[in-house]
Amino acid sequence: MSPTRNIQANNRLAFASMAGERQTPLGLIGSVLLHAGIIGATLFTFAHKLDIAQESAPVVPVELVTIANKTNLIATVKAPPKAEPTDEEPTPPQVQKLDTPPQSEPKPEKLDVAPETKPEPPPPEVAPEPSPKQPPPLPKVKPAPASEAKADAPKKEEFDINKITALLDKRDAVQASSPKGKVADKAVKGFGPQTAMTMDLQDSLRSQIQQCWNPPVGAPHPEELVVEFELFLKPDGSVAQPPQLSGESESDASHDSFTRAAAEAARRAIYTCAPYKLPRDRYGQWQDITLTFDPRQMVGQ
Amino acid sequence: MRRFGFLGAAVFTLLAAIAWPAWAALHVDVTQGNIQPMPIAIPDFIGGAQGAQIAGVVRADLDRSGLFRTLDQKSFVEQIRDINTPPQFNNWRVINAQALVTGQAVAQPDGRLRADFRLWDVYGEQQMLGLSFATTPENWRRIAHMIADKIYERVTGEKGYFDTRIVFIAESGPAMKRVKRLAVMDEDGANPIFLTNGSYLVLTPRFNPTAQMIAYMSYAGGRPRVYLFDLESGRQEMLGNFPNMTFSPRFSPDGNKVVMTLESRGNSDIYAMDLRTRAVNRLTSDPAIDTGASYSPDGTQIAFESDRGGSQQVYAMNADGSNVHRISFGGGKNGTPVWSPRGDMIAFTKQANGAFRIGVMRTDGSGERIITHGWEDEGPTWAPNGRVLMFTRTERGGRGSSIWSVDVTGRNERRVPSPGSGSDPAWSPLIQ
């Protein structure tokens, strides 16, 4: 388990494999040892990961921090008394509050969306980001400017200064309202965008898409018609490229007419409700979205 | 050293796999939707009056289904001039159309009518379907229904039901001297035809699986008996020669049998007659009233109503009469069970709280839902896709009855246009 033992195992493995070149039985042993070595290597990797986690904070607290941030953002008034990792349960009510505003304007901008569906260079007037970057990198640049990673991540600063400053502003606001949400949070930085406060984004997006989703309730087995889409958005909230089915839905849709219909209904919902109203300064958190459309709760209505 | 290379690769892969979730996308589960008709643009087909007529019927069909909302042609920005070139999708997004149907009607040299259409996904910017039909010009309505069926099927995933017919009892005259005639019409109420002249009472007509034969009960010979009516030849025949009254007929899914009720000295029981051998097989022998038999689509089971337990309830049994068990437990009296063509549900009439309503339940009696809310709704019949039901509605204060349709979800209740008053509808299978 320990690193040293693993190294020993690897050495043994090397010898075994050399022996294996001479004799087949030894080759077999070598193979077995190789496998053992690989497993050992896995453990090693894992242990290493955990070590890192221990240095800063356990994994779970990270998420709690997430929620705390979100809470502060919305319900500024409540915040003061709470400590850093505040595990606030008032999450649901916030959800609802968030829901309302975005609902208001799904449609007017459809016209704009339309042209953008095709891969074209001249997209958003929005940010000073270099336009060429946007279409291709969106999918891949997931290690994007995570909001919490503000301090380090120098590349990203160059990437988009506005974003960072916006984030800084937000932080200040948060801190002002709840003076205790401080340093401990920062220790979490290495973890990536999804560890940040995303529940409000999820709720916002969900409430926007629900307006446009016509679920397949009349189909014979609606419970089997759960479809999953991978969606990339542009900073202005419009659809960056045609959403793709992911997971099992992809193969299901190819040979089942009901799944295909369900998938198409979901895709129509994605397009119809675009552009999505999401906080631009947190684009890194919502540029890449996995959407699951699950009609089960709608059955029987 | 090469091994180390492999090892390194393995470690790297594993690392990547472990690290991956850290960069995963934002996950959003959408579990609530907004059930609404899908906006679809169907401009008149190219081809003059005929093209406009066909498009009109397609629009009416899809609108009636409640799953589509056809857009007003006045709002259209683009005029379709050639159905073989893709439309400018922007022009259709502007008016919020999610799908577009373009089509043309062409008179062919041989005098036949050909109708081509394409269904476009406006947001996906691609063709979803493109088909061509040819027939004699008189059949243009059927072509339109078939086009509507194809669009419906492509968008919803299940077969349509527009190219179907309804057999029903057309009623006319004063309540005391009601004239009831056997009649058929298209699913949209067009082309009504009377099959009997009204000089005798007719009831409970049912189509066979090819929609060419109708079984019904008639007082033609003075006594109520089950008859068969062949739509092609117009020939009628009494089904079997029983000493007493026979009623409530229904075909088996393969069309080879008719199941019906025979009354004898106040006791009604269910019998099945093989139409090829004319052999009759008794299925129930309870002293209570057993009637209203309906086969499951696979032909292995029969649902029926019986008051053997004290009140009228829905029961099911094997097709040979074994394994009788009650399935309706939702309260009130329950009768006229009809097995869904999909096989997943049974529709029935519930009598409770002084009203008759149409309900559906799973075939084991669970999941009961009442889907109509009239004062007297009864006698459900399924569309061939198991998605829509028709039934007879009698208004309070009784000025005759009319035929209504409703989605199996309880939505989209609407009156089916029929000549005069109508009752006792039975939906045909999809016409072959």
**Number of CB pairs < 8 Å for A and B?**
173
**Nearest 5 degrees, angle CA A52-CA A53-CA A56?**
90
Predicted confidence at residue B3, as pLDDT, reads 54
Q: Would the pLDDT of A192 be above 70?
A: no
- Domain harbouring B379, CATH code: 2.120.10.30
- Whether residue B344 is found in the same domain as residue B405: yes
Domain co-membership, A129 together with A241: yes
Pairing verdict, β B38-41 and B68-70: parallel
Q: What percent of chain A has a predicted confidence (pLDDT) above 70?
A: 39
Domain with A41 in it: 3-56
Regarding whether B277 and B399 lie in a shared domain, the answer is yes
Residue B86 Cα to chain centre, angstroms: 34
Residue A49 has pLDDT above 50, yes or no: no
Contact indicator for B54, B45 with CB cutoff of 8 Å: yes
Alpha carbons B257 and B302: distance in angstroms, whole number:
12
- Report pTM: 0.70
pLDDT of residue A190: 40
**Partner residue facing B93 (CB), from A110, A256, A258:** A110
Q: Quick one: B135 and B224 in the same domain?
A: no
Residue numbers of B between 36 and 65 with CB closer than 8 Å to A = 36, 38
Nearest CA among B169, B158, B230 for reference residue B384: B158
Query: Which of B 273-312 lie inside 8 A of A, CB atoms?
Result: none
Determine, yes or no, domain membership for B32. Answer: no
Do both B239 and B301 map to the same domain?
Answer: yes
Residue B91 has pLDDT above 80, yes or no: yes
Residue A95: strand, helix, or coil: helix
Cβ of A268 within 8 Å of Cβ of B22? The answer is: no
Confidence of residue B21 (pLDDT cuts 50, 70, 90): very low
Q: Letter for the amino acid at A215?
A: P
pLDDT one-digit tens code per residue, B349-400: 999 999 999 999 999 999 999 999 999 999 999 999 999 999 999 988 767 7
- Best of B2, B12, B27, B28 to disrupt the A interface (most A CBs within 10 Å) is B28
Which pLDDT belongs to residue B392?
95
Report yes or no on B100 lying in a domain: yes
Percentage of residues in chain B having pLDDT higher than 90: 75
Point out the residue among B25, B26, B155 whose CB comes nearest to the CB of A261: B155
Adjacent-strand bridge partners of B46:
B104
Q: Report residue A224 as tokens.
A: 């089997």
Strand order in the sheet with B165-172: B193-194, B179-186, B165-172, B421-427
How far is the C-alpha of A214 from the C-alpha of A208, rounded, in Å?
13
- The distance of A14 to chain B (nearest Cα, Å) reads 7
B126 in reach of chain A (CB within 8 A): no
Q: Are residues B125 and B222 in the same domain?
A: no
Contact A114 B89 (CB under 8 A): yes
Neighbours of B314 (CB within 10 A): 27
Residues A52 and A100 in one domain: no
Q: How confident is the model at residue B274 (pLDDT cuts 50, 70, 90)?
A: very high
Residues of chain A found within 8 Å of residue B28, distances taken between Cβ atoms: 202, 205-206, 209, 289-292
State the smallest CA–CA distance between residue A53 and chain B in angstroms: 13
pLDDT digits (tens, 9 = 90+) for B333-351: 999 999 999 999 999 999 9
Which residue range forms the structural domain that includes residue B104? 38-156
Judge: A220–B125 Cβ closer than 8 Å, yes or no: no
**DSSP string of B193-219?**
EE-S-SSS-EEEEEE-TTSSEEEEEE-
CA–CA dist A103, A116 (Å, integer) = 22
Is ipTM over 0.90? no
Average pLDDT over residues A99-109: 29
Nearest to B127 by CA among B101, B150, B153, B92: B101
- Please answer yes or no on whether A218 and B407 come within 8 Å at the CB atom: yes
Mean pLDDT of the region A259-277: 90
Of B34, B93, B387, the CB nearest to A210: B34
CB contact under 8 A, A272 and B4: no
Q: Hey, what amino acid is at B242?
A: F
pLDDT in tens, B48-73: 899 999 999 999 999 999 999 999 99
Residues of A in contact with B412 (CB under 8 A): none
pLDDT of B431: 80
For residues B54 and B178, membership in a common domain is answered with no
Q: What pLDDT sits at residue B124?
A: 87
Overall size of chain A counted in residues: 301
Mean pLDDT in residue range A240-268: 85
Q: Domain check: are B176 and B93 in the same one? A: no
pLDDT value at A31 more than 80: yes
Categorize the per-residue pLDDT at A35 as very low, low, confident or very high, splitting at 50, 70 and 90.
confident
Name, in order, each residue with C-beta under 8 angstroms of B231's C-beta and a sequence gap of 6 or more: B184, B195, B211, B212, B213, B214
Cis-peptide into A122, omega within 30 deg: no
Quick: pLDDT tens for B144-186.
999 999 999 999 998 999 999 999 999 888 877 888 999 999 9
Question: Which of A143, A220, A262 is opposite residue B342, by nearest beta carbon?
Answer: A220
Chain A residues in contact with B6 by the CB 8 A cut-off are 34
Q: How far is CA A272 from CA A111, A209, A285, B420, B421, in A?
A: 11, 9, 22, 43, 43
* Residue B427, C-beta contacts closer than 8 angstroms, at least 6 positions apart: B161, B164, B166, B187, B207, B381, B382, B383, B384, B390
Q: Is A43 exposed, middle or buried (0-12, 13-18, 19+ CB in 10 A)?
A: middle
Could you give the 3-state DSSP secondary structure of residue B380?
Answer: strand
| Residues A39, A37: Cα–Cα separation, whole Å | 5
Query: Could you report the per-residue pLDDT of A161-181, keeping only the tens digit for each?
Result: 555 444 444 444 434 334 333
Q: Tell whether B195 and B312 lie within a shared domain.
A: yes
Indicate if the pLDDT at residue A114 is higher than 60.
no
Q: For residues B410 and B388, give the distance between their C-alpha atoms in angstroms, rounded to a whole number.
A: 9
Q: Which amino acid is at B357?
A: R
Domain presence at residue B327: yes
The pLDDT mean for chain B works out to 90
Token pair belonging to A42: 């896995």
CA distance A130 to chain B (A): 23
B184 and B232 within one domain: yes
Tell me the per-residue pLDDT of B98-124, one tens digit each, with 9 for 90 and over: 999 999 999 999 999 999 999 999 998
Same domain, A49 and A168: no
For residue B220 the two structure tokens come to 């033609």
pLDDT > 70: percent of chain B = 94
With vertex at residue A120, the alpha carbon angle to CA A118 and CA A123, rounded to the nearest 5 degrees, is: 110
Q: What is the pLDDT of residue B221?
A: 79
The DSSP element (H or E) to which B314 belongs, if any, is strand B313-318
Q: For B83, which DSSP code?
A: T
- Residue A131, pLDDT score: 32
Same domain, A76 and A195: yes
Q: For chain B, how far is it from start to end, CA to CA, in angstroms?
A: 71
A160: pLDDT strictly greater than 90: no
Helices A199-210 and A257-273 sit at what angle, rounded to 10 degrees? Answer: 110
Among all residues of chain B, which has the CA nearest to that of A216?
A: B156
Q: How many domains does chain B have?
A: 2
Q: Both tokens of residue B343?
A: 């096989």
pLDDT value at B273 more than 70: yes
